[in-house]
Amino acid sequence: MTICDVYRLCCCAFLGAFVNMSASCQSVACDNALDLCGQLDTTAVLSSPMDLDGFESLSEMFDANQVQVLHFHTTFFGQFAQPLEPIDLVIGDVACEDPVVAQVFQSNPLDVCNAQDFVPASELWTVNSDTTLTSQPLYQNTDYVVLLGSSGAGCEVDVRLNGLAMSIDACCTVSIDYGESATVQVLGSDPELGYSWTPEDLVQMLDNQLAELSPYETTTFEVTGYVQGCAYADAGLVAVGSPIEVPNAFSPNNDSFNDTWNIYGLSQFPTSTIEVFDRWGQSVYRSVAYPNPWAGQNRGVNVPAGTYYYVIHLNEPNANLAPVTGYVAVIR
């Protein structure tokens, strides 16, 4: 055996021992850590030993023998990581003989389970029953952990994270006129992952956060954003005004004032159909494209004064618009 062979054997033995030592030093609590997404219930079983690296720095105030580490990542609301909003930690279905202690910490993204790097982001809470706890304002786009602990074994609780820091925001209800578009800003998703929209064909993303929505009728848009393996959903309503303006009365008495039923905006729908019915449901007028406004006649004969029901089909080829219906009074 040469000197080189001995060197190789020694190196291999050293590396093998190093790998085994590293594996054995990995904490059980960190191995069993749970990833949390906002707005979702997760069951936490406090069954791991308190063996986090650097836990000695917390042991005086965090008195527990069994723990559960919960990791979460706040959503992204802008370019700079400024304090955002607190999160609500909802704890329910508490099945524990001993009190549960809980605390939120900002963690080191390169070593999430190293307790020596934990920065408190909430008070230390003691929980005996279902409750909602509120943290300090958290930074956006940042790693945090929730540490749950108990002195007894077999403790289970349901946890849920709520709040702006664990969601996306698709703004609000927007009102536009027919034929216009609405530009809305959506916040929260990882800019590199973007958003998914429904209905997709009516949306054009202008950049990572601005979307142009172009519905033909009042539409609820559903949007999904993505952060660290979590999908967050929100919805926004775009209210579209009526594409036409229909008068509710006219007076065909040949005084050159309001003698015809002028429907404004109908000229942009060249295949539209208009039909008018009397109180007995009999059709008294029908037109395609409405080239000449109705003068209150049925086949050249004046209809009686009264209230008539109308149905207007716009027949927009790019959208399934609902018929426009209502009543018009003929005054003589």
Helix (H/G/I), strand (E/B), else coil: 92: strand
Residue 57: what pLDDT?
A: 75
Same domain as 161, residue 31: yes
Q: Is residue 18 part of a domain?
A: no
State how many domains the chain has: 3
Question: 140, 165, 190 — which closes off a domain?
Answer: 165
Q: Are 184 and 155 in contact (CB under 8 A)?
A: no
Same domain as 183, residue 94: no
Question: 186, 208, 240 — which closes off a domain?
Answer: 240
Same domain as 58, residue 136: yes
Site of tokens 């001993």: 98
Q: Is residue 13 part of a domain?
A: no
- β-pair partners for 44: 157
Residue 79: what pLDDT?
A: 59
Residue 191: what pLDDT?
A: 81
Indicate the residue type of 90.
V
Same domain as 124, residue 36: yes
Q: Is residue 12 part of a domain?
A: no
Contacts by residues 250-254 (CB-CB < 8 Å, ≥ 24 positions apart) = 250/296, 250/328, 250/329, 250/330, 250/331, 251/330, 251/331, 251/332, 252/295, 252/296, 252/297, 252/302, 252/330, 252/332, 253/331, 253/332
Give me the phi and psi of 324, to 5 degrees please: -95, 120
Same domain as 86, residue 181: no
Q: pLDDT by residue for the chain (332 residues), tens digit each?
A: 433 343 333 333 333 333 333 333 446 767 788 999 999 999 999 888 878 888 877 767 787 888 899 999 999 876 554 667 899 999 999 988 889 999 999 998 888 888 888 999 999 999 999 999 999 999 988 999 999 999 877 789 999 999 989 999 888 889 999 989 999 988 889 888 889 999 999 999 998 889 999 999 899 999 999 998 999 999 999 999 999 999 999 999 999 999 999 999 999 899 999 999 999 999 999 999 999 999 999 999 999 999 999 999 999 887 788 899 999 999 99
Task: Please tell me the distance from the alpha carbon of residue 233 to that of residue 196, in angstroms, as a whole number.
Answer: 9
User: How many Cα atoms within 13 Å fall on the side-chain side of residue 270?
Assistant: 0
Question: 116, 145, 165 — which closes off a domain?
Answer: 165
Q: What is the pLDDT of residues 231-240, one digit of tens each?
A: 999 999 999 9
Residue 111: what pLDDT?
A: 85
Give the pair of three-digit tokens for residue 328: 């018009």
Helix (H/G/I), strand (E/B), else coil: 218: coil
Q: Is residue 326 part of a domain?
A: yes
Q: Is residue 9 part of a domain?
A: no
Same domain as 318, residue 236: no
Contacts by residues 296-303 (CB-CB < 8 Å, ≥ 24 positions apart) = 296/250, 296/252, 296/260, 296/261, 296/330, 296/332, 297/252, 302/252, 302/332, 303/278, 303/330
- Domain containing residue 199: 174-240
Q: Is residue 4 part of a domain?
A: no
Q: Are 111 and 27 in contact (CB under 8 A)?
A: no
CATH of the domain at 115: 2.60.120.380
Helix (H/G/I), strand (E/B), else coil: 178: coil
Q: Are 310 and 283 in contact (CB under 8 A)?
A: no
Q: Which residue blocks in the chain are alpha helix, DSSP H?
A: 3-25, 28-31
Indicate the residue type of 103.
Q
Give the pair of three-digit tokens for residue 46: 């406090």
Task: Please tell me the distance from the alpha carbon of residue 328 to that of residue 247, in angstroms, as a whole number.
Answer: 7
Among residues 80, 266, 229, 88, the alpha carbon closest in space to that of 162 is found at: 88
- CA dihedral sign, ordered 39, 41, 42, 46: positive
Same domain as 259, residue 227: no
Task: Please give the full DSSP string across 219-260, using - where no structure is assigned.
Answer: EEEEEEEEETTEEEEEEEEEEEPPSSB--SEE--SSSSSS-S
Q: What's the angle, vertex CA 75, arms to CA 36 and CA 111, rounded to 5?
A: 60
Residue 221: what pLDDT?
A: 96
Give the pair of three-digit tokens for residue 173: 């209800």
Indicate the residue type of 186.
V
Q: Is residue 316 part of a domain?
A: yes
Q: Is residue 21 part of a domain?
A: no
